[in-house]
Amino acid sequence: MSRFTPEMAARAAELVSLYPEPRSALVPLCHLAQEQDGWLTPEAMEEIAELVGVTPAEVRGTASFYDMLHTEPVGRYLVSVCTNIACLLGGAEALLEHAERRLGVRAGGTTADGMFTLEDAECLADCDRTPCVTVNHRYVGGLSAEAFDQLVDDLRAGRRDDEIPPHGTLVRVRRSGGLRVPRDQVASERQAMAAATAARAEAAKAAAEAQGAEGAQGKGA
């Protein structure tokens, strides 16, 4: 299950083609692997390494730096409760404690049925609706304890699945078509632009010098 499916492999190739250097696609490919498997499996890291021309260790070393890339399985729903300053002022600690009781796991843990992973998150940039909660990186608003319970019930019953895809599916809109400017055109245009820019700069400099000379003459006269 952990190598890219043919469809995912095609999308992976598309991603790599968007960048001047394949390695730039490393993080997007990790997101893609999580979309397929829900987390970043060792097999996926090996395949990504092949695709971008680095070692699997480099993929793991990079992925482990980022909070959103999970090298261990996470629940179907990643519930992130922000406790940073604005949410702290808005009662986030009480909500996180409530969430821990409701789900029966501490922050960082996953429920036994694999449905929920609870996370004590840093600022999620939605600070006018506190305490801020996201599920699989989708904002669900500032939540009271009651609203949190309702959310959990709804998620368990699959009532929010239209709006909240399973963990790993970050972006449901795909870029259509790759790069449109032919690469050799980019190269030749860059040269032409550089020449044109230099010519205009030269002309501007000459004009400024002519004006300067005129100004100096004016002063002298």
Partner 1 sequence: MAVTDAPRIVTARVGYEDSYTLERYLATGGYEGLRKALSMTPEAVAAEVDAASLLGRGGAGFPAGRKWSMLRKDPVTYLVVNGDESEPATFKDHLLVERDPHQLVEGVLIAAYALQVSQAFIFIRGEFALGLERVTQALNDAYDHGAVGADIFGSGFSVDVVVHPGAGAYICGEETALLESLEGKRGFPRIKPPFFPAAIGLYGQPTVVNNVETMSNLPWIVLHGGKAFAGLGQGRSAGTRLFALSGHVKRPGTYEVEMVKTTFRDLVYAPVYGAGVRGGREVKAFIPGGVSAPWFGPDQLDLPLGQDEVGAAGSMLGSGAITVMDTSTCMVRAAWRIAKFFARESCGQCTPCREGSGWLERVLRRIEQGEGREEDLDLLLDVSDNISPGLQWPPQQTTICVLGPSIPSSIHSGIDMFRDEFLVHVKEGRCPVG
Q: Under a CB-based contact definition with an 8 Å cutoff, are residues 130 and 90 in contact?
A: yes
117 is a site residue for partner 1 (CB under 8 A)? no
Which of residues 123 and 216 has its CB atom nearest to partner 1 in the complex?
Answer: 123
Could you tell me the smallest distance in angstroms from the CB atom of residue 22 to partner 1? 8
Question: What whole-number distance in Å separates Cα of residue 133 and Cα of residue 67?
Answer: 16
Question: What whole-number distance in Å separates Cα of residue 165 and Cα of residue 12?
Answer: 20
Among 185, 199, 209, 210, binds partner 1 (CB under 8 A): 185
Which of residues 42 and 53 has its CB atom nearest to partner 1 in the complex?
Answer: 53
Among 9, 115, 124, 145, binds partner 1 (CB under 8 A): 124
Which part of the chain contacts partner 1 (CB under 8 A), choosing from 21-29, 99-107, 109-117, 143-151? Answer: 21-29
Which of residues 20 and 220 has its CB atom nearest to partner 1 in the complex?
Answer: 20
Could you tell me the smallest distance in angstroms from the CB atom of residue 177 to partner 1? 7
83 is a site residue for partner 1 (CB under 8 A)? yes
55 is a site residue for partner 1 (CB under 8 A)? no
Q: What is the DSSP string of 66-118?
A: -TT--SS---SEEEEEE-SHHHHHTTHHHHHHHHHHHHTS-TT-B-TTSSEEE
Question: What whole-number distance in Å separates Cα of residue 212 and Cα of residue 194?
Answer: 26
Could you tell me the smallest distance in angstroms from the CB atom of residue 203 to partner 1? 11
**For residue 121, what is the enclosing H or E element?**
strand 116-121
Question: What whole-number distance in Å separates Cα of residue 30 and Cα of residue 58?
Answer: 12
Could you tell me the smallest distance in angstroms from the CB atom of residue 86 to partner 1? 4
Q: Within 13 Å of residue 210, how many CA atoms lie on the same side as its CB?
A: 6
126 is a site residue for partner 1 (CB under 8 A)? yes
Binding positions for partner 1, 87-116, rule CB under 8 A: 88-90
26 is a site residue for partner 1 (CB under 8 A)? yes
Among 36, 110, 117, 134, binds partner 1 (CB under 8 A): 134
Question: What whole-number distance in Å separates Cα of residue 123 and Cα of residue 134?
Answer: 11
Q: Under a CB-based contact definition with an 8 Å cutoff, are residues 39 and 59 in contact?
A: no
CA distances (Å), origin 160, targets 12, 110, 126, 135: 28, 20, 20, 10
* Residues of this chain that bind partner 1 (CB under 8 A): 18-21, 23-28, 30-31, 52, 54, 61-63, 65-69, 83-86, 88-90, 122-128, 130, 134, 136-139, 170-177, 179-182, 185-186, 189-191, 193-194, 197, 200-201, 204
